[in-house]
Amino acid sequence: MNITEMFSDSYISYPFSNSKRILGLGLLFCSGVFLIVPAVFAGGYLMRIIENTIEGNYELPPFENWKGMFIDGLKVAAVVIFFMLPGLISEFALFVLVKIGYATLNPGLMIGLFMLTSLFYTSAYILSITAIPRMVYKNQLRAAFDFKMVFKDIKCIGLKKYALSLTGLSIMAAYLILFAGFLHMIFYSVGAMISLNIYITDFAANLLIYPLIIASQGRFMGLIYLERFQVHD
């Protein structure tokens, strides 16, 4: 499958493969904006989307086995935190140095630390896009931390195709988030005109956009990983 087909499938067709389930995902995510537990469930559902994609299923997966979905969500959180940890530490160091006024004494060091932080976060993103589907495919948490095999999977997918896929994935995620912000502004204005509670307008905007982000990105992550088997089994 070429990149254009992957994007068309992930962002146009797949999220609407089951209207009831995309609505359920929206309700789950929107409640997770205020509570951690539903957000963990949303992460578990992301894993199910990836799993269904790798198995060749097209429709959004059903909401079942909630205990398993919660555990899967914790696994996703563990992988994301692990990969982001160097960036978080570097960012915290940068914050502390700025707070104590060291930035004015050694601006070169601050620029270097900022670039290092950006590199850490970029690397975490690049690796996690393959590490999480690999964990799903192997059904083992430790598979996500097998860096040798993660790099091998990326090589099998093809560095050029992988880079283009991640660039497109990032652009689409940024676009949808910006569009969500645009919807928030519109809903705030409408809500203010009819004296609607701000939390209701937030909920409505989130319900329209964020489930699409989870569904489409989960689908795309699965499709990217499937490319690994087109070259090396």
Residue of 54 and 29 predicted with greater confidence: 54
**Helix or strand or coil: residue 58?**
coil
Task: List the domain boundaries for the chain.
Answer: 3-231
Query: How many Å apart are CA 71 and CA 89, to the nearest integer?
Result: 26
Residue 213, φ and ψ in degrees, nearest 5 = -65, -45
CA 1 to chain CA centroid, nearest Å: 21
Digit-coded pLDDT (tens) for 153-188 = 999 888 888 888 888 888 887 777 777 677 667 766
108: alpha, beta or left? (left if phi > 0; alpha if psi -120 to 50): alpha
**Residue 63 in this model has a pLDDT that exceeds 80:** yes
Tokens found for residue 120: 């850490």
Question: In the prediction, which pLDDT does 72 show?
Answer: 93
- State pLDDT tens for residues 75-100: 999 999 999 999 999 989 888 887 77
181 or 152, which is more confident? 152
For the chain, the average pLDDT equals 82
- Percentage, residues of the chain above pLDDT 90: 31
Query: 60: helix, coil or strand?
Result: coil
Q: Is the pLDDT of residue 34 over 70?
A: no
- Please name the residue that has the structure tokens 């909630």: 66
pLDDT at 77: 92
Cα separations in angstroms, 27 against 33, 155, 204, 225? 10, 38, 10, 28
